[in-house]
């Protein structure tokens, strides 16, 4: 597949089921190389959009492009470069990981030598002969990802990949997706209704609600969209000294014994806060934006629409 700036491009697309409109003139640009979060509440149209992108639902010409090509005219060609994982992957519990992947290779006419490669990529080589009924939820999800990776895709399209996983499984999948993106150059488009997960994983995000895209762009852009600014949590062994110093420039509150919260107009001010603390000889144990930030931005967007 040729390299294009935007691996997915949707222009002015409306879609409905019978009388019910689900998407109203949406546009979406997914940069090649990104981890793109498609974020919205249940029923917002995320799965519908993914089905459209996989060519499972029919749309008019010239509105959906994958790898720069119209999906209606290059469907088979583009699908070869896409790995997909739907919510309930078709895995057989009574078979091992290897046997599950062998089945997929036969059905999809993929060379068997890919099996060892994808098992290694998802870190399941050592467990590949075990029946998967003994796997944890995270391991099963990694196997589903291995299945998606079989055709050597340039793009992974994942519908709610984190849904239903236990906390260890969530961390597992998150790290794996970052590895596939950073070290294997795979663009990842994933849907989720879990705000904090999108924040931890994605470089870009689109917020879909009530048939429309309310925001699309960089993750930092969404965070800075928050009218209430950014809450930066600072943990230090000298919280009082840090508070006295920082409150000359920013509103500061105390949070427990060792933490303060600094209110910033936007994220780009963070390095200035860090250097002010270091210059004053104050040890920083932790410096992080408040996790509720994205939620606040998201709710603000929903409220104003």
Q: Where are the alpha helices (DSSP H) in 32-184?
A: 46-53, 75-79, 97-108, 114-121, 137-149, 167-184
Stretches 24-32, 35-43, 88-96, 122-130: which one binds ligand ADP (CB under 6 A)?
A: 35-43
47: contact with ligand ADP by CB under 6 A: yes
CB-wise, 57 or 284, nearer to ligand ADP?
A: 57
Q: Which of 244, 232, 240 is CA-nearest to residue 269?
A: 232
Stretches 38-46, 149-157, 227-235, 289-297: which one binds ligand ADP (CB under 6 A)?
A: 38-46
> Angle CA(9)–CA(227)–CA(224) in degrees, nearest 5?
45
3-state secondary structure of 229: coil
CA distances (Å), origin 63, targets 48, 70, 99: 15, 7, 39
**Sign of the alpha-carbon torsion through 198, 189, 6, 63:** negative
CB-wise, 46 or 204, nearer to ligand ADP?
A: 46
Among 45, 153, 169, 229, binds ligand ADP (CB under 6 A): 45
26: contact with ligand ADP by CB under 6 A: no
Q: Which of 129, 133, 140, 57 is CA-nearest to residue 93?
A: 133
How far apart CA 227 and CA 298 sit, in angstroms, is: 11
Among 26, 28, 39, 44, binds ligand ADP (CB under 6 A): 44
**Pairing relationship of beta strands 35-39 and 64-66 according to DSSP bridges:** unpaired
3-state secondary structure of 222: helix
CB-wise, 29 or 159, nearer to ligand ADP?
A: 159
**Pairing relationship of beta strands 64-66 and 20-31 according to DSSP bridges:** unpaired
Name the CA dihedral angle for 219, 222, 228, 229, rounded to a multiple of 10 degrees.
40
39: contact with ligand ADP by CB under 6 A: no
CB-wise, 190 or 262, nearer to ligand ADP?
A: 190
239: contact with ligand ADP by CB under 6 A: no
Rounded least distance, CB 80 to ligand ADP, Å: 25
Among 46, 140, 204, 209, binds ligand ADP (CB under 6 A): 46
Among 7, 8, 36, 40, binds ligand ADP (CB under 6 A): 40
Among 7, 8, 10, 22, binds ligand ADP (CB under 6 A): 22
Rounded least distance, CB 63 to ligand ADP, Å: 17
37: contact with ligand ADP by CB under 6 A: no
Looking at residue 51, what DSSP letter applies?
Answer: H
CB-wise, 206 or 242, nearer to ligand ADP?
A: 206
3-state secondary structure of 93: coil
Among 48, 147, 192, 216, binds ligand ADP (CB under 6 A): 48
Let me know: does 6 contact 27? Beta carbons within 8 Å: no
Q: Report the Cα–Cα distance between both ends of the chain, in Å, rounded.
A: 38
Among 43, 164, 185, 283, binds ligand ADP (CB under 6 A): 43
By the criterion CB under 6 A, which residues form the site for ligand ADP? 17, 20, 22, 40, 42-48
């Amino acid at each position: 597949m040729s390299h294009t700036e935007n691996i997915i491009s949707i222009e002015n697309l409306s879609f409905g089921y019978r009388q019910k409109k689900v998407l109203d003139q949406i546009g979406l640009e997914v940069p090649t190389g990104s981890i793109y979060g498609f974020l919205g509440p249940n029923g917002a149209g995320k799965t519908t959009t993914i089905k459209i992108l996989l060519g499972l639902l029919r749309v008019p010409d010239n509105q959906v492009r994958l790898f720069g090509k119209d999906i209606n005219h290059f469907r088979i060609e583009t699908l070869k470069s896409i790995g997909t994982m739907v919510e309930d992957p078709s895995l057989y519990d009574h078979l091992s990981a290897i046997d599950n992947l062998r089945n997929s290779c036969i059905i999809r006419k993929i060379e068997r030598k890919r099996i060892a490669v994808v098992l290694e990529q998802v870190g399941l080589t050592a467990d590949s002969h075990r029946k998967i009924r003994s796997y944890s939820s995270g391991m099963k999800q990694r196997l589903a990802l291995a299945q998606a990776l079989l055709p050597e895709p340039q793009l992974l399209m994942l519908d709610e990949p984190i849904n239903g996983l236990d906390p260890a499984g969530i961390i597992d999948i998150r790290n794996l997706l970052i590895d596939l993106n950073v070290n294997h150059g795979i663009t990842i488009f994933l849907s989720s209704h879990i705000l904090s997960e999108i924040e931890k994983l994605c470089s870009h995000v689109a917020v879909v609600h009530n048939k429309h895209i309310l925001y699309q762009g960089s993750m930092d852009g969404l965070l800075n969209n928050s009218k209430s600014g950014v809450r930066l949590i600072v943990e230090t062994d000298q919280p009082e000294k840090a508070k006295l110093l920082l409150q000359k420039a920013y509103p500061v509150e105390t949070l427990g014994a060792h933490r303060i919260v600094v209110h910033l107009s936007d994220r780009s001010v963070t390095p200035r806060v860090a250097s002010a603390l270091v210059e004053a000889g104050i040890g920083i144990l932790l410096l992080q934006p408040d996790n509720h930030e994205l939620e606040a931005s998201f709710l603000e967007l929903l409220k104003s629409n």
